[in-house]
Amino acid sequence: MTNAKQERSMNDLVLKGGRVIDPSQGLDKVTDIAFAGGKVSAIGDGLAGKDVRDVSGKVVSPGLIDLHTHVYWGGTSLGVEAELLARTGGVTTFIDAGSAGPGNFHGFRRHVIEPSPVRILPYLNVSFAGIFAFSKAVMVGESGDMRLLDPREAVRVAREHKDLVLGIKVRVGKSASGDSGIVPLDIALDVAEETGLPLMAHLDAPPPSRHEVVSRLRKGDILTHCFRPFPNAPIRPDGRVREEILAARARGVIFDIGHGGGSFGFGTTRGMLAAGFLPDVISSDVHAISIEGPAFDLLTTMSKFLCLGVDLPTVIKLATGNAAMAIQRPDLGTLKPGSVGEATVIDLKVGSFDYADSIGERMMGDKRLLSAGVVLAGRWWHPS
């Protein structure tokens, strides 16, 4: 058998001629990438395989990781379908940010996570009911009723599902915790400490204050909605990043965008970028409301950063390798040979595109990222 025939029999899939961008390897070049046995098998020119796809003019990145989503579809009012969003938005790993709590996590696992063709990794909400009333018609913050916050139950369920649960999620702010203020965060931190897990904290409008929340977070904890607009914005009117934000980054707190419907401002983002403060992770906070705008999906949120002057390799890094590090999964978010056989093929459009933030400010951008294909388990998955 010739070497070419041997190579074709070994590689299940080859993506040919794309711009392969993998920040985990410092790689940005036009070349081929091959997959075999569910893993990345090789990167280089002239590769052959059983299924060869021409992706010339497209970008090939590690499978996108959306660090903040809500995909408990059918079990919560805010859930969207992960598989549908993966097909349209190119995400291969969805991190569910606390849709389910101790009272309904088992249903999320059995009926949504386990049958899903795309990876779903969850945070457990400290509230027993999870995010149970989140819609255009009804909005009740799950942290506003202290009767729902039982730390023993949260610890019990986190331990029962320790093979799956990434960490503990808590939402505080005027909308999420009402009169309970900062107390749910302190309870969630107790649960996180007891289980040895990191915490993801949501903060909306005060109370509590940005300072109260950020000052409590530990190394490896995640502050989502980190570039939210005033109030509770991370930057002062004079353009200086607030001291508690700088101190939190210095001690290892992770800053995640979590765009959503009300948590991302162009003004805040321009100021933070001008101050040299990049987020650690770009995520969408896609849910049943924000999927209709202004967030839409992860690629749209990434596009906004691209139009605000962040270069494409960095934008990809913040939605792949950095997201993988945030959840302590270095096996994801990379195209290194031997790694998980997942990739997102991206079409970079140039033109005039209208974007909006969460408070109604609009921005005309000249770039737009769209999904052109998804590789799962080393096979071409979408479009078929």
Question: Phi, psi (5° rounding) for residue 248?
Answer: -65, -45
If you ran DSSP here, which 8-state letter would residue 297 be given? S
Residue 287 among known ligand-binding residues: no
Distance CA 346, CA 18 (A): 10
Residue 382 among known ligand-binding residues: no
Contact present, 259 and 358 (Cβ < 8 Å): yes
| H-type alpha helices, the chain | 3-10, 82-89, 105-108, 151-160, 183-195, 210-214, 243-250, 266-274, 298-307, 312-318, 321-326
Residue 202 among known ligand-binding residues: yes
Residue 169 among known ligand-binding residues: yes
Distance CA 22, CA 288 (A): 31
Residue 259 among known ligand-binding residues: no
Residue 161 among known ligand-binding residues: no
Distance CA 265, CA 360 (A): 9
Bridge-based pairing of strands 199-203 and 167-172 is parallel
In sequence order, which residues have a C-beta less than 8 Å from that of residue 78 and are 6 or more positions away?
A: 70, 72, 99, 131, 134, 135, 287, 288, 289
Contact present, 344 and 316 (Cβ < 8 Å): no
For the annotated binding site for Zn(2+), the residues are 68, 70, 169, 202, 225, 285
For the annotated binding site, the residues are 68, 70, 169, 202, 225, 285
